[in-house]
Amino acid sequence: MSSLPAMPQLAVPQMPALPSSGFRLSKEHFLVAVPVAVVAAVGGFLVSHYLSGRSCKKSQVNTCISKDSPKVVHSFDMEDIGTKAVYCRCWKSKKFPYCDGAHTKHNEETGDNVGPLIIKKKDT
């Protein structure tokens, strides 16, 4: 039997070591970085909370009218109105549900543009 010639050994080049990023966080740096990150996170939260509160105020419109009732509803018969009735829509009127002009002060203080509901009979 004849033997096969020996296969030559291929040289496999060695991969060079990957360079390290050089980023090392010492204990002292870590002790400084954590409080800074916490303060930045809390500050970011507070600023976003403040800015979102300014753009959309979520508060009650009715602050004092019939608060013991689950829903404030008023109903009027057209025959009882007379020629004209002016109803409050800002919830600030001292004569609620009738308008006493309190919306003017409310609009000046808040930048709102609410006005009364005016119901009048048609002239025939």
Can you tell me the distance from the alpha carbon of 114 to that of 25, in angstroms, rounded to the nearest whole number? 59
Q: Could you tell me the end-to-end alpha-carbon distance of the chain, in angstroms, rounded to an integer?
A: 128
Would residue 58 show up in a list of annotated catalytic residues for this protein? no
H or E stretch at 41: helix 27-55
Per the residue annotation, which of 27, 57, 67, 71 is the catalytic one?
71
Answer for the pair 93, 62: CB distance below 8 angstroms, yes or no.
Answer: no
Q: Kindly tell me the burial class for residue 87, based on how many C-beta atoms sit within 10 Å of its own C-beta (0-12, 13-18, 19 or more).
A: middle
Can you tell me the distance from the alpha carbon of 65 to that of 94, in angstroms, rounded to the nearest whole number? 9
Q: Which residues are catalytic?
A: 71
